[in-house]
Amino acid sequence: MSGPNYTSRRSRLLRAIKTAGVDALLLSGESNVRYLTGFTGDSTWLFLSKTATVLISDSRYETQIANECPGLDVDIRDARKPMSVAAADVVKKAKVRQLGFEADHLTVTQHSALHQKVESAELVSTTGLAERLREIKDKWELVQIREAIYQAERGIGVVRSSLRPDQTERDIRYTLEAAMRSFGATGPGFEPIVGVGPTGALPHAHAGDRLVSESPILLIDWGAEAPSGYRSDLTRVFVTGRITRQMRTVYETVLKAQKKAIAAIKPGAKCRSVDAIARRVISNAGFEKYFGHGLGHGFGLDIHESVRMSPISKQVLEPGMVVTVEPGIYLPGKFGVRIEDDILVTNTGHEVLTSVPREFDDAVVEFLA
């Protein structure tokens, strides 16, 4: 399969720029620059207008840009020229009157410096122009996401088969990261969350020194980053000791909530409505106050991207969107259960991209003697 069509992506963004009522857009978000050009470095902005496409960078990346972005115009600044001055020179040369900037990515300090130097154009705040394009994944992107899922799933298989009572959360994290790399990942898609018992009740916990043997519940939230930069995101809970009625009840409630929410995913479905389906299951079981975050999110080059399934989301699902579905129940001081899968919205409904078993019996781990 051929690689991404960056020219087509920029053409679509130009239409969005016109609709936004500005003459050009200065992009400073690293993932947006990568999505539109293929450049994998940092500290580089992209100026995009109807008549000009210019990467503004520095001498560290001159050769890299030539290799990754052949044919693109480049403005390479030296150490004596601040980014604001380099960008202002590009804007002045393009003769634009209204310059959009990415309000979600440009810092206040950067905006102030740019405002002082760009005298020929009015700075206009924009938000989400490139991110909205990235919501819909093309065929090439889906191949990359499937690869990242494969790497993550093979990695967790290694962790499960080698799990021991004397392992710490940190031991598991490092084993998982190494395993994903051995299957082709450049690294984890984000810092893996590994939580034994009470640690797992912290939705974004950091792996520490707690031993697997200290609680019968182990939560792992992980993903891989493929060489293309695309990521995956999954969560599973493993039962490593004596099963209590409460554990089973919480697990089955979360799984039921997730299944019902996934079943509702299709083109035209409101994100907040899908969230409400899962939330209702958890609320009816008496755990409403223990599920405080949104049901899911988009992902791709970033682990959290536009498309949010939450009670306040106004978005509607469309074919090509890829989202997580990850309801959870977190009992402070005891344990947490979250089950997360990656879902593709198709023309007729949805496809569950992840395949790690999730039934309660599948979660039970028998240690090797």
* 60 lies in the same domain as 154: no
- Scan for tokens 């907040």, then name that residue: 272
Mean pLDDT on 317-337? 98
- Same domain for 32 and 122: yes
H or E element at residue 338: strand 335-338
State how many domains the chain has.
2
Residue 106 has pLDDT above 70, yes or no: yes
Q: Which of 217-226, 238-247, 359-368 is the least confident region?
A: 359-368
Residue 207 within a domain: yes
CB 197 within 8 A of CB 215: yes
Q: What CATH number has the domain bearing residue 338? A: 3.90.230.10
Residues 85 and 154 in one domain: no
Q: Is residue 170 part of a domain?
A: yes
- Mind listing the pLDDT tens digit for each residue in 20-79? 999 999 999 999 999 999 999 999 999 999 999 999 999 999 999 999 999 999 999 999
Checking if the pLDDT of 368 tops 70, the result is no
Q: Is 1 a member of any domain?
A: no
- Asked if pLDDT for residue 291 goes beyond 90, the answer is yes
pLDDT of 2: 83
Q: 340 and 241 in one domain?
A: yes
Answer whether residue 369 is part of any domain: no
Where is the domain boundary, 134, 154, 184?
Answer: 134
Alpha carbons 309 and 314: distance in angstroms, whole number = 9
Q: For the chain, give the percent of residues with pLDDT over 70.
A: 99
Q: Once rounded to an integer, what is the mean pLDDT over residues 233-245? A: 97
- Chain centroid to Cα 313, Å, comes to 17
Burial of 20 (0-12, 13-18, 19+ CB in 10 A): middle
Q: Residue 189 in 3-state DSSP? A: coil
Q: How far is CA 154 from the centre of its chain?
A: 20
Residue 267 shares a structural domain with residue 154: yes
Q: Which residues contact 231 (CB under 8 A, 6 or more apart)?
A: 145, 148, 189, 190, 223, 224, 225, 299, 300, 301, 302, 303
Domain that holds residue 65: 6-134
Instruction: Write out pLDDT tens, residues 129-151.
Output: 999 999 999 999 999 999 999 99
pLDDT at residue number 282: 98
Q: Are residues 87 and 162 in the same domain?
A: no
Determine, yes or no, domain membership for 216: yes
Non-local (6+) Cβ contacts of 317 within 8 A are 265, 266, 267, 268, 269, 270, 271, 274, 307, 323, 345
The SS3 call for residue 180 is: helix
Q: Is residue 368 part of a domain?
A: no
How high is the pLDDT of residue 119? 86
